[in-house]
Each structure stands twice: as structure tokens, then as C-alpha cells.
Structure 1
Amino acid sequence: MRISILAACVFAAAGQAASACGELIQSCTFEHGRDAVRICLIDGFVTYDYGPAGGPPELSLSVPIEEADYYPWSGSGSTVWEMITFHNEAYAYHVAAGFHKLREGEDTPRPPFGSIEVTYQGDLISSRACDAGSVQWGYGDGGLYGAKTAAGLCWADHPDFVWRPCAD
């Protein structure tokens, strides 16, 4: 099942149509819409664009789907979340998104949430929560999980927590 929380791409680089994103995995804004992040699947790659909303990205990173450092939801707990990490030399950009499951008696879903944590040589140097209401996130069988499995990889949950080739 695919739960779509995608309305429109909030981040479009100057002169670049939102459709150039391929498949939007996650996007959101920070600082009341001043900055934005966008994670997309494009032609076998996972891309990360970060910079001023509506302007060209200050940082763009790309990695083949097979090599993407992606941690899917474990399937337990009251919060559904996943994270992808992009590496750039000693820096790592940990982009997460999630939502809280409905509790008994609740009938209105809470909006999704997202964040970016930046580490340098493993030490946290920045943590930013996405603006409330700005998170767009596609969760379910498609998205990055679907792309990794289509590439012949399976998630080894316990005890390894790694992607590896699926057994025949």
C-alpha cells in the first residue's frame, strides 16, 4: 500500500520544472519557507538538493540507488519514519521523515514531520526541523524502498540493519 503525502514539489531550482525531479521522495522547507530540501529518484540515482526555496541549490549530491544509505521503518512503534543519509567527504546529511499513527479515539491524522541533521566526522553540527505543514513524503511500497528492492536488494533488519542482495 502506498500512502501519498505528496501535493506538489515545493522546491524547484531556477529554470527547472518540478517534473525534472523524477519521483519525489521527500521535500520540505525551513525557516518559514526560506530554505528547502528535495530528495528525488532520477534515472537510477537518489539526489539531494538543498538551498534557498525557489532558487538554485547550494548543495546537490547524488548516489546510485544501490549505494543509497537508506534506513526504512522497522515496522514497530507508534511512529512510522525512515531516513536517508548522503555523504560528502567527512560530512553526512541525515534526512528523515515520518508520521504518527492514529491513536485509539483519533480520527484526524497528524501531519507528517521531517528533519535534517548534519554531522562532521560523526559529530552533530546542525539539526533542523522542517516547517510545520511543509513536509511532502511518499511512504509505502514505492519510493526509495521500492527502488532498492527493484534493484535486487533486500533489507536485513535484525541483527544487521543493512541492504544486501536478495537470496534466490
Structure 2
Amino acid sequence: MSLTFGANPAAACPVGAETLVSCTLKKGRKALQTCLQGHQVSYAFGAKGATPDLQLSRHVSEVDLQPWPGIGRSIWEEFTVENQGVLYLVHYGFERMGEEVQSPLYGGVTVVQNGKTLAQLDCDVGSVTSAGYPLPLFAAKEAVGQTYAHESQSWH
């Protein structure tokens, strides 16, 4: 699948796919796009308006998801896509301000190799789009037979 980032990072998801988390970074110069289509998760990162520098596609069973544990003022989720020993941890969240009020979405990606953080990029304020909480990735993982154990915070 070849992707080109347009004016809106969400345009990179193929027809029929759901945006998991997308945003611009580095004052609009870079774009992050993650999508779910069936049982496939795609990850794309690169210069906005160009073919992404990195494109990955993984089966949902190969993508780790850390769901919100249900406590705290911030609701967040993080999922990890691995490529040759490099981990791309994509996160998003929002602060609960009250019953009906929430803050704008925030997000970003952290790149880790051998336990060392290589890069930590925050999404530009106001640019984050998401499928919303909970991400449809949770249901997709369950649909392929995985279950989440809250006690161990792991998928089986």
C-alpha cells in the first residue's frame, strides 16, 4: 500500500479503514498516520505532503495495546508497532475536566530500541484525530481471539 500524506493526515487511511491516531508533528512538517482495516494495522510517518519515510503493516495480533487502566484524570491508550527491533509507541489521550467536558486530544510517538528512547515526538496542538476511546484496536484484538488480562496488563 502506497500512501501520500495530503493536507489532512487522516487522508492517508485507505477507503474503509479507520484512523486510530493521526496528527502533524514538528509544526506541520511531519505527519503520523495509523489505521485499522480489518485485522491489519498500518503505521506511516514522514514529511507532510510526501510519500512516508516509514510505512509498516502488521496483523492486530502483532500490535501491543496498552488500554487505559480506568483510573486517573487522563484517559489514554498506547499501542506499539515493532519493526526489526525498533518499537514505535503511539499514544493519544485527553484530560477529563468534568462530566461532559474534556480537553483537546494530545498524542505522539516514541521510538525505542533496546530499551533506549531514540526519539519522542509530540503531536502539534490541535492536530490529533482519533477513532476515540476505546480505540477499535481493542475489539479487533478480541475478534482474533486475544484477551486482555488487567492483572498482568498483557494480551493472551
Establish whether residue 140 from structure 1 lines up as the match of residue 133 from structure 2.
yes
Provide the identity percentage. 34
Report which stretch shifted further, 145-154 or 42-51.
145-154
Secondary structure of 1:132's counterpart equals: coil
| Shift in CA distance, 120/37, structure 1 to aligned 2, threshold 3 Å | same
| Shift in CA distance, 22/99, structure 1 to aligned 2, threshold 3 Å | same
Mind listing any 5+ residue stretches in structure 2 that lack a counterpart? 1-6
Query: What are the equivalent positions in structure 2 for 1:16-27 lying under 5 Å apart?
Result: 18-20=13-15, 22-27=17-22
CA contact (8 A) 2:63 2:82 kept: no
* C-alpha displacement of 1:150: 1.9
CA contact (8 A) 2:40 2:59 kept: yes
Query: What are the equivalent positions in structure 2 for 1:12-91 lying under 5 Å apart?
Result: 12=11, 18-20=13-15, 22-91=17-86
Query: What are the equivalent positions in structure 2 for 1:56-135 lying under 5 Å apart?
Result: 56-103=51-98, 108-135=101-128
Largest Rg, 1 or 2? 1
- 1:19-51 deviations in whole A, cap 9, x for unaligned? 437111110010111101111012311110001
Normalised by the size of structure 1, how large is the TM-score?
0.81
| Shift in CA distance, 97/91, structure 1 to aligned 2, threshold 3 Å | same
Match of 2:9 in 1: 10
Match of 1:163 in 2: 155
| Shift in CA distance, 69/138, structure 1 to aligned 2, threshold 3 Å | same
Pairwise CA RMSD = 2.1
**Which one-letter code corresponds to 1:96 in the other structure?**
H
- 1:111-143 deviations in whole A, cap 9, x for unaligned? 010011111211011111100000001223561
Q: How far apart in 2 are the matches of 1:141 and 1:98? A: 10
- 1:50-109 deviations in whole A, cap 9, x for unaligned? 0111211110111111221111111111110011111111211111000011148xx643
Normalised by the size of structure 2, how large is the TM-score?
0.86
**Which one-letter code corresponds to 2:126 in the other structure?**
G
* C-alpha displacement of 1:147: 1.1
